[in-house]
Amino acid sequence: MTVRAVTGSGIRCAYHHSQCIEPWLMNVPGLVIVAPATPYEAKGLLTASIRNNNPVVFLEHKLLYNMKGDVPEEHYEIELFKSHIEKEGTDITIVATMAMVALAKKAVKKLESLGISAEIINPRTLFPLDKETIKVSVAKTGRLVILQEGPKVMGAGAEMGAMIAEELFEYLKAPVKRVTSLDVPVAFAPVLEDYINPSEEHLIKACQSAMNF
């Protein structure tokens, strides 16, 4: 069974329609949590989810519905439980989920102008997480910044950061950084919603902090 569910903010719908529900679901053993970041991924991952024999919750970020991108008409699947390296880099690893992938790609251009080469990893499946791709990247760069929409406390980024601290501590050149929403309800006012959520500026500052540690 595959259940499609919406998540995330950014469309000015106040708290009751703006929550990031993935941490709730990740705490239920046995559920597969899929989280596409583009229209192309949405079709390919949904097809793979339906064909999978596990119960799957397919999370669709609200901003994804207004995103445009190339989607082949023919049938295709994208492998579950496998992260995608959106961009290769050497200085720092950025793990970004769903709508945050696009934000990370924008920030990387500015980071390059600052002399920082960032690698972007899109997990695609939040649980079970493809740990190996993240670990290989962090072993190469020695630095990890996790970009996640939603509160910092008990978020998906907390699990990723803990995993690296437990299994790859000796490779870290700086503490793991998390760039997240504030631990408050999402406001209805656009200026407050933007203030609460992670931004390109927040990500750039976190990367600079990790590089200068």
Residue 114: the pLDDT is: 96
Amino acid identity for residue 36 in this structure: P
Give 197-202 contacts, CB < 8 A, sequence gap 24+. 197/9, 197/10, 197/149, 198/100, 198/103, 198/147, 198/148, 198/149, 199/103, 200/103, 200/106, 200/107, 200/110
pTM: 0.95
Instruction: Please state at what angle helix 200-211 crosses helix 100-113, rounded to 10 degrees.
Output: 50
Model confidence at 93, in pLDDT bands (50, 70, 90)? very high
Q: What's the fold here for domain 84-211?
A: Rossmann fold (3.40.50)
Q: How far is CA 153 from the centre of its chain?
A: 15
Mean per-residue pLDDT of the chain: 96
Active site residues: 17
The two counts, helices (H) then strands (E), for the chain are: 7, 9
Between vectors from CA 70 to CA 102 and to CA 23, what angle results, nearest 5°?
Answer: 40
Where do the domains of the chain lie?
A: 2-66, 84-211
